[in-house]
């Protein structure tokens, strides 16, 4: 298949903002990785690792080029680390003759489930075209097979659907040309956290961020590879404290500004390819958060010019949220105006209090941005009124929302972040909410991030560290080398889509622990900067450890599998 | 997938013969065809047409670019004629956004069964990798999709496995870049056979031949795309009386000579790509028939030089067959030497008599070739002795073979062709065999060809015409526009491979009716040459008729299908 993408420009895209985005340099970096091991997975009672445990196959990876495989052969390659890139390999035939094509199914696994469950019978409400398998037919060998599509994976399952009785095939020179905006030579602070789990959480955060940093900050490189505002804010924050690629953030901000709608609101997400275009998805809180992204960027980069250029967009992006305010009480009322309010996917979440807090948080950021730019802060009056109005949500020492006085982490986190209450009041309300058995918990890492951000704002360092170790640490213990789109410690097959095989296991909105660990928490956890280290070296250490971990389990695994069989 | 075929030369290939093959020009011709109709197939009680009948869909082909298709959509395009080539189309998305890939299954149908049965659960002893379906995933639209693999097909079934709720896809500019050694401008004698069925049989023969004529004379362009000696002889004969591409025959002959084995025998088939190489398949009778191919070629082309160059190969290619002769009786004994004897796939066929006849036929051809080349005929003595010995197979007016005195069309045809008997004796034996209820019938069109050749040798013109009309005419009536690898009038799903979905419906060894119709039978059937006509014009007429045929049935078909539903 030859991808000849026909480029067409689109009406309604602001050409001056688009030009700034296009002219902000971002080169996709490329490097190669090879598979490290031929493995299989054996069942385990431990739910935390998908109920599976890797075991070495009978074959060493160095034997791969000399192994031959015929109809029905099935093996898994482990590259040792999550990657985003393009697969190629040399397919060779042996035997009498290649007198028929070779039909292969290649399944790209971010998780062990991808390469063990098969891709049949998946019922999800999002597209099954996202499933990471390809069936290819090869007429002649030897042939270098280079797949044109990009995949996100650590494991590659190879199924030889058929050859013929006269020939088998061999695989050699298997490699992934990895891509990211961040090269292997890119250097970041090397930090000793004096705690292996925190060390791992920091590394997995950075790997997640790096693999999502492509031509834009992608939502997830496996699926839904678009630029979303909610994810972008979190990625940009983590980026400022780690990889510090300011240009990529700038590109993305201007892309959003370029596709702003007629009423000045900003779409929740955009498509940067095959041509820059807004998605029809719209989220009131994402729209408003665009202002914070610009503010964060100006603070982190010192690029005041961008602040000036985008000032009109910053002002317009909160208008639809502001339309939700009761003109008398200045309280955010979810049904007063239109547009989806997100905050989190938690079921039954009442979004009044959280949205109020979020909007107030955004308006304060705009006022701060105005000060940086030497402008008059535009929202001082409304900020005062909203802060005053916010007291309606504080009842009996906790934050409540809606007619049922619902307690939720979402309300608590955003009202803390709104800075509408004295710190001690805010801290007590947040802690009380988190201890309350009826409080609606976050479903997504996205909201868990804001819970952490709120905890730090009220100096709850230990609580924040505990949360990070439990939640993100839980994924690490379950085998993550990038953080997931969703995580349920009790159910390794949990999915918001109805089937875990459509989940993304490297997802932008879960990449922020490094932001906290390298920021406010660095001294609290006793971490210290020990120097600088290249990304390639960090990756290499991770591969070495992940392979070592498998190797040490290998003999047990093989023995147990044989016993099971 | 980028096909980068790594070319390696092979030890054991005669470089001087190979050089001649390489230097004999053969340009692959290319032209384009577009789909003519969107159709469906409806069940019918008529077994002769696969139990299916085409019916127009509700959509005109001109509507195709404006039709949109989402998850689960399924439609069939009819190109109006069998083709060999490369498919491309423009895939466009419509709706809110292409926010997911589009996964398509494309199934290339030579027969209606291919595009109605599905390709799941095929159990055959040859490779299922030959099944003519591809699953492709497209990330971005609009995109020109150009499939790199070559297919043989008339129908294209398109299944949209998934899009997303936000977009659908459209197909436009669908075309097949057809290939053959024979261009659309190539002109042949236009013949009026004064009989529509014979006219059609002639046309379908030529289409079959043309679609098998690629870089070599292929066995079948759908599957097993190699050069086989048995098929080559039949194709070359049909070619001399129709398309008259002598160079392609010359190339193929020299390719076989180049891959002759150490003992001078010639493999049953060869691979011309990715590098010239013999197959390990060996058939005693095919080996011997190489000599006849050379003789036929020299006679048809007048190229004596090739005869001289290949003379040593001609002499050596009959040696393994000769090793089967009893040194005293000069009778071919199947178990006296090694090597598979084929003649036909008919079950339980005793091959002594047929092999005796075939070898004698070959030796006579070599003697004739010697005379053309001004050489001493090398096999005059053994020809006499074998002709005399052949009388052992004549018993009670029929030809018998083996310990059970088996009657078969194979024995009869080849003993007639061996010219060992007076014409009247031969004729009576052949006719008696064909009337005998216990005679083993041919299973393949390949042997039916030699039955026809034998009938003509003994002047049984009417019997030959009747056979052609019944056997090949049966395929035409069943909807063939190229002749099939196998045909069972009683069972449209008959297959030598266990599943009809691996059958080839354009197969070289069934292309020879035109050889007879334009040769010995021309005057017998009252045919007359009316001028010259280009292949493209012949194809155009066929498409017009085949589309017209569908159209006339269309309303009935749609009405009936609706009634069924």
Tell me the pLDDT tens digit for each residue of A464-500. 999 999 999 999 999 999 999 989 888 888 898 999 9
Question: Does residue A1 sit at the B interface (CB-CB below 8 Å)?
Answer: yes
Q: For chain A, give the number of residues.
A: 565
Over the range A129-143, which residues count as b (16 or more CB within 10 Å of their CB) and which as e? bbbbbbbbbbbbbbb
Rounded to whole angstroms, the Cα distance separating A377 from B105 reads 58
Question: Does residue A274 sit at the B interface (CB-CB below 8 Å)?
Answer: yes
pLDDT, mean over chain A: 93
Q: Is the pLDDT of residue A554 over 90?
A: no
What integer is the mean pLDDT of B92-116? Answer: 96
Cα separations (Å) of A216 from A22, A244, A297? 11, 14, 15
Per the CB < 8 A criterion, the answer to whether B211 and B179 are in contact is no
Q: Is the pLDDT of residue B365 over 50?
A: yes
Cα separations (Å) of A34 from A40, A77, A437, A488? 17, 9, 48, 31
Tokens matching residue A195: 């705690």
Instruction: Tell me which residue in A71, A125, A273 faces B140 most closely, judged by beta carbons.
Output: A273
Instruction: Tell me which residue in A136, A162, A274 faces B1 most closely, judged by beta carbons.
Output: A136
Question: Does residue B129 sit at the A interface (CB-CB below 8 Å)?
Answer: yes
Rounded to whole angstroms, the Cα distance separating A213 from A207 reads 10
Cβ–Cβ gap A129/B103 under 8 Å:
yes
What integer is the mean pLDDT of A28-57? Answer: 87
pLDDT (0 to 100) of residue A3: 34
DSSP result, A259-314: T--TTS---SEEE-SSS-EE-S--BHHHHHHHHHHHHHHHHHH--HHHHHHHHHHH
DSSP result, B512-529: THHHHHTTTHHHHTT-EE
What integer is the mean pLDDT of B424-449? Answer: 96
Establish, for the pair of chains A and B, how many residue pairs have beta carbons separated by less than 8 Å: 143
pLDDT (0 to 100) of residue A550: 65
pLDDT band at B26 (very low <50, low <70, confident <90, very high): confident
In this predicted structure, which of A207-211, A274-278, B380-384 has the lowest mean pLDDT? A274-278
Instruction: Tell me which residue in A2, A97, A223 faces B146 most closely, judged by beta carbons.
Output: A2
Tell me how far apart the 2 most distant CA atoms of chain A are, in Å: 86
What integer is the mean pLDDT of B298-314? Answer: 98
What integer is the mean pLDDT of B520-526? Answer: 96
Per the CB < 8 A criterion, the answer to whether B177 and B89 are in contact is no
What integer is the mean pLDDT of A288-317? Answer: 98
A6 or B135, which is more confident: B135
Q: What are phi and psi of A244, to 5 degrees?
A: 50, 50
What integer is the mean pLDDT of A545-552? Answer: 75
pLDDT (0 to 100) of residue A2: 33
Count of C-beta atoms within a 10 Å radius of residue A508: 31
Cα separations (Å) of B458 from A382, A419, B416? 109, 107, 8
Q: Is the pLDDT of residue A11 over 80?
A: no
pLDDT (0 to 100) of residue B552: 57
Rounded to whole angstroms, the Cα distance separating B41 from B53 reads 5
Quick one: which of B463, B471, B466, B513 has its CA closest to B191? B513
Q: Is the pLDDT of residue B414 over 50?
A: yes
Interface of B with A in 97-116 (CB under 8 A): 97, 99-103
Q: 3-state SS of A178-244? A: EEECCCCCCEEEEEECCCHHHHHHHHHHHHHHHHHECCCECCCCCCCCCEEHHHHHHHHHHHHCCCC
Per DSSP bridges, beta strands A4-5 and A29-33 are unpaired
Q: Catalogue the E-assigned strands of B111-166.
A: 133-138, 143-146, 151-162
Instruction: Tell me which residue in B3, B129, B280 faces A97 most closely, judged by beta carbons.
Output: B280
pLDDT (0 to 100) of residue A155: 97
Question: Does residue B123 sit at the A interface (CB-CB below 8 Å)?
Answer: no
pLDDT (0 to 100) of residue A47: 65
What integer is the mean pLDDT of B112-127? Answer: 93
DSSP result, B386-416: HHHHGGGGEETTEE-BTTTTB-BHHHHHHHH
Question: Does residue A564 sit at the B interface (CB-CB below 8 Å)?
Answer: no
Quick one: which of B269, B300, B218 has its CA closest to B482? B218
What percentage of chain B reaches a pLDDT higher than 90?
87
Q: Is the pLDDT of residue B11 over 70?
A: no
Q: How far is CA B560 from its chain centroid?
A: 35
What percentage of chain A reaches a pLDDT higher than 70?
95
What is the pTM assigned to this prediction? 0.94
Handedness of CA B506, B507, B513, B514 (dihedral sign): positive
CB-CB neighbors (< 8 A) of B134 in chain A: 135, 137
Q: Is the pLDDT of residue A149 over 80?
A: yes
In this predicted structure, which of A296-310, A324-338, B228-242, B535-549 has the lowest mean pLDDT? B535-549
Cα separations (Å) of A99 from A167, A172, A327? 8, 21, 78
Question: Does residue B122 sit at the A interface (CB-CB below 8 Å)?
Answer: no
Question: Does residue B140 sit at the A interface (CB-CB below 8 Å)?
Answer: yes
Rounded to whole angstroms, the Cα distance separating A147 from A155 reads 16
Q: Is the pLDDT of residue B565 over 50?
A: no
User: What residues contact A253, with CB distance under 8 A and at least 6 apart?
Assistant: A290, A293, A294, A297, A306, A310
What integer is the mean pLDDT of A78-101? Answer: 96
pLDDT (0 to 100) of residue A12: 73
B432 or A42, which is more confident: B432
Tokens matching residue A255: 């892309």
CB-CB neighbors (< 8 A) of B166 in chain A: 280
pLDDT (0 to 100) of residue A548: 80
Question: Cis peptide leading into A169, omega within 30 of 0?
Answer: no
């Amino acid at each position: 298949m030859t991808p000849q993408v026909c480029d067409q420009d689109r009406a309604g895209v602001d050409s001056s903002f688009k030009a700034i985005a296009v002219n902000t340099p971002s080169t996709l970096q490329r490097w190669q990785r090879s598979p490290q091991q031929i493995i299989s997975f054996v069942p385990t009672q431990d739910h935390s690792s998908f109920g599976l445990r890797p075991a070495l196959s009978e074959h060493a990876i160095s034997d791969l080029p000399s192994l031959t495989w015929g109809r029905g052969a099935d093996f898994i390659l482990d590259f040792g680390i999550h990657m985003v890139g393009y697969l190629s390999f040399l397919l060779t035939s042996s035997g009498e003759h290649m007198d028929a094509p070779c039909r292969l199914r290649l399944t790209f696994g971010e998780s062990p489930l991808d390469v063990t469950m098969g891709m049949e019978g998946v019922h999800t409400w999002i597209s099954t075209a996202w499933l990471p398998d390809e069936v290819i037919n090869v007429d002649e060998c030897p042939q270098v097979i280079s797949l044109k599509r990009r995949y996100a994976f650590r494991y590659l399952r190879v199924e030889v659907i058929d050859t013929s009785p006269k020939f088998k095939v061999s695989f050699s020179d298997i490699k992934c040309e990895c891509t990211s905006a961040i090269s292997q030579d890119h250097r970041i602070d090397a930090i000793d956290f004096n705690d292996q789990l925190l060390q791992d959480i920091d590394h997995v955060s950075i790997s997640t961020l790096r693999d999502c940093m492509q031509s834009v900050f992608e939502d997830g490189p496996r699926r839904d590879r678009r630029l979303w505002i909610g994810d972008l804010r979190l990625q940009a924050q983590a980026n400022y404290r780690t990889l510090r690629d300011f240009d990529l953030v700038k590109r993305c901000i201007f892309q959003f500004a370029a596709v702003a709608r007629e009423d000045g609101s900003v779409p929740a997400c955009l498509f940067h390819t095959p041509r820059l275009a807004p998605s029809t998805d719209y989220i009131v809180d994402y729209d408003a958060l665009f202002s914070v992204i610009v503010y964060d960027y100006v603070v982190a980069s010192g690029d005041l010019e961008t602040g000036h250029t985008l000032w009109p967009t910053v002002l317009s992006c909160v208008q639809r949220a502001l339309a939700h305010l009761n003109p008398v009480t200045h309280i955010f009322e979810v049904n007063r105006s239109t547009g989806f309010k997100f905050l989190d996917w938690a079921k039954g979440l009442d979004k009044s209090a959280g949205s109020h807090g979020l909007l107030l948080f955004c308006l304060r950021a705009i006022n701060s941005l105005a000060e940086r730019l030497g402008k008059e802060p535009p929202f001082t009056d409304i900020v005062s009124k909203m802060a005053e109005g916010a007291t309606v949500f504080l009842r009996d020492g906790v934050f409540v929302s809606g007619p049922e006085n619902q307690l939720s982490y979402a309300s608590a986190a955003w009202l803390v972040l709104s800075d509408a209450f004295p710190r001690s009041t805010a801290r007590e309300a947040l802690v009380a909410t988190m201890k309350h058995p009826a409080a609606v918990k976050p479903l997504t890492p996205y909201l868990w991030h804001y819970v952490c951000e709120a905890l730090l704002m009220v100096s709850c360092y230990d609580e924040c560290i505990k949360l990070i170790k439990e939640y993100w640490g839980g994924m690490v213990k379950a085998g993550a080398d990038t953080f997931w789109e969703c995580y349920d410690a009790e159910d390794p097959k949990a999915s918001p889509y109805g089937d875990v095989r459509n989940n993304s296991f490297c997802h932008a909105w879960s990449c922020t622990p490094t932001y906290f660990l390298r920021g406010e928490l660095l001294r609290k956890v006793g971490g210290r900067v020990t120097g600088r280290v290249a990304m390639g070296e960090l990756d290499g250490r991770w591969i070495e450890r992940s392979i070592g971990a498998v190797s040490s389990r290998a003999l047990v695994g093989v023995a147990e599998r044989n016993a099971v069989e």
